[in-house]
Every structure is written in structure tokens, then in C-alpha cells.
Structure 1
């Protein structure tokens, strides 16, 4: 607990910030529907969820590169825009919150803490996700990948979110499933937790990212908050 002299103690952290895809929401099924529509339009067969899933946290360009390996990693901007436009039509139709996430958010709210989202997903698409889940009235702050001049792993989005809540970065904690999430939190001076249930490549080692804790499930985040 942290408290200033003469003031009642407030719970630490005072707010919990989350990544979105791979942390709060399992959007991989929506992404799979997106790339398979794009592949079908080109006469190609569907790809497997297991092939795409590890790349979801890396964004539209990375997923397009996996979906179309014949491009050799050189993904044109037009293809990225096609991905985003198609995804906007599939968003929320196949995926949903990870098991345990709704209970975690309720537990955070029950302690009087606020929670918010800092994601590299375009803000308009992130707001569409929140609306579909009924979270838009509960999420205290949302920062998308195009909200500011910088995006994760730059610390600006996390600092901006904390400032919007009227808090210091050190009074928040960030939860994410990607190394960029932890790097951004560290650079912002914010404690960080790894969501091990999210998306990552086989050769990634979360224990080397420098987080404050590795959480195997949302219940582990709740336990960390209740220390």
C-alpha cells in the first residue's frame, strides 16, 4: 500500500492498464476469418488457426506476411489496408474475452480501481471491440496505436493513459502478452505483468522480458493485485 502522510491509504496499483489482443480478448479467430477471406479472394485455401495465432499481437502487417508467405515479408500498404477493412467486418464475430477476464475486470472494479486499455490496434477498431463487449462504459481510458505520434514499445501511450487518469505512471500497472508491452512499461516507469495466456512465437522467452510477474491466467493477475 502507498499513502502520503495525512491521507488515507489507496490501493496499489490505483489503475490497471491492459493490452487488448492476446491479453483481454482472444481475437485470433476474427483474424483467421479475415486472412482466410483474403486468401479465398485470391484462390488460395484456408490457413490453420495454429499457424496464425502466434503472430496476432504483431499486427496487420505481420499477419498478412504469414498469410501470404509468397510475398517474402514485403507486404504492400494496400494489403494492410485490405486486411484492416476486412477485419472490421469480422471483428467480434468469432472471438471474445479470454476465460477469466470478465471476472478479473469485475474484481478490479470491486476494489475501487479503474482499468483501461493501451493497444497498438487502431483506436476506431479498438472502440468497436469495446462497444461489442459492452465495455465502453467501463473502460476508463483507451489509447490506440494511432491515437498519438508514437505507439508501443515507445512509452508515450502508457504515460498518456496514466496522465488521462490523473495518475503517475508508477501508480499504474500494465498487463500485456508481448515483449513490446513490457518494454513500453519499463520505459514509462510502470510495473508490468506478462499475460502468458496470450500470443507469442515459440522462441520467445517471457522470463527474459524484465516483467514484475509472469501470470499464467487472469486469476494470477487478480492475485498479484491482492498481495
Structure 2
């Protein structure tokens, strides 16, 4: 479909800009190793990487936030992750070139993630994303996605109305947050997507590869 041209594009981080799943999976499998358990297959962990501790602990141990041990295990997981945050994490193929294309087109870009600032601030410069016009973490505002406040804060920081921005993400909550903030939304089909067909999110557009965003810009 045709989208109104943006003045900035905002991105989710995990599963959209960066392939963080290998280091997240390693953090939860270190917990299993400490308990004398075999590692959970990576293929089971990768699709839930965008869900953070909740998704990974759930996949590796079969428990949720209502379990009495969850909070202690969450702290252990996060400490493991903080200690090895960028061992195998890389930008997805095409991301660097896509961001260069945005810069050449004079468009601002930024990051809006549910990852806590403790991790975002450490990771972003290590993987080549220091050029972001803004970085909004999960604890930057009182609410995390799918609430629109993080996206509205990002637009405010780069000095644009929300409707002048596109939001790109690989999870339903990204699309919900963008829609609630009044932003056109793009489903990142190259990301984790939680074993869900991105078309079901009803985003304004879908992209199967980062460079397709540049095609959407030209089409708009």
C-alpha cells in the first residue's frame, strides 16, 4: 500500500535492527547448565527472543511471571546477559546499508525498545548504532510498548509530530504501539516474529528485508 512519506523512521531493537537472540539464548542456557540441565535448543529460543526474560525463561523452564521463582530467575538471567551482551549479537543483513540510505535521504532515525536502559545503553554503541537520533528504552518512560508513550517520547525528542514518523518492529506489540501513537507501522518480517505470521498484525506495510524499507520510501 502507499504510505505517506515520513520525516523519520523509528525502530524496535531486538529482532528488528539487531539479531540479539544468540546472546539472549546463551544467558538462559547458562542458567540451565548451572542446574545440571541440557541446553534448550536454539531453535526453540530464537522466536521468543523479542519477549525478553519472560519469553526466554518461559521457553527454557516452562514457567511464567506468576511462578514464585520467576523474579529470582529473571535477575539471574539478566545478570548473565549483562555480562556477555555483545558476544554474538550483530546487525541483521542489510540494516547498515538501509540506515545509510536513510542518512543519504536526510531522514532521521531512532530506536524505541522495551529493553531496559541498563542493556540498551551498553549494547547500542557496541553494534554500530550510535548514530541514532534518539534511543528510548523500556524504562525511559513510565510505560513500555504496546503503550504509545515510548513512541511519543521518541517523536518529541527528535522534534517531530508522531504522524511524521514510521515505526518498524517484529512483534505485534510494536504495531499496536505505533498505531496507538498515530504512526504508520511496518512489520519487520525478517525478525523473530514469535512464530506468528506478521500479516496477522495488520501493519500498514510489511517488509521481508531491511532494504525493502527504502523501496517503501521511494514508493511513498
Matched, 1:94 2:88: yes
Query: Aligned residue for 1:168?
Result: 161
Matched, 1:143 2:122: no
CA–CA distance in 1 between the matches of 2:194 and 2:124? 27
In the TM superposition, 1:90-129 aligns within 5 A as: 90-129=84-123
Query: Aligned residue for 2:202?
Result: 210
Q: 1:29 aligns with which of 22, 28, 31?
A: 22
CA RMSD in angstroms, aligned pairs only:
1.4
CA–CA distance in 2 between the matches of 1:94 and 1:134? 14
Matched, 1:85 2:93: no
Which 4+ stretches in 1 moved above 2 angstroms? Answer: 71-75
Matched, 1:225 2:213: no
Q: 2:178 aligns with which of 176, 179, 185?
A: 185
When residues 72 and 156 of structure 1 are mapped into structure 2, their CA distance, relative to the original with a 3 A threshold, is closer
Deviations 1:60-98 (A, max 9, x none): 1221111112x4662521111111111011211012000
Q: May I ask how many residue pairs the two structures share in their alignment?
A: 214
Question: Alignment partner of 2:141: what SS?
Answer: coil
- Taking structure 1 as the reference length, the TM-score comes to 0.90
Unaligned runs of 5+ in 2: none
* Greater relative contact order, per chain length (Cα 8 Å cut-off, separation 6+): 2
Higher Rg of the two aligned structures: 1
CA–CA distance in 2 between the matches of 1:182 and 1:85? 29
Q: Return 73-82 or 13-22, whichever deviates more.
A: 73-82
Matched, 1:48 2:44: no
Query: Aligned residue for 2:124?
Result: 130
Question: Alignment partner of 2:186: what SS?
Answer: strand
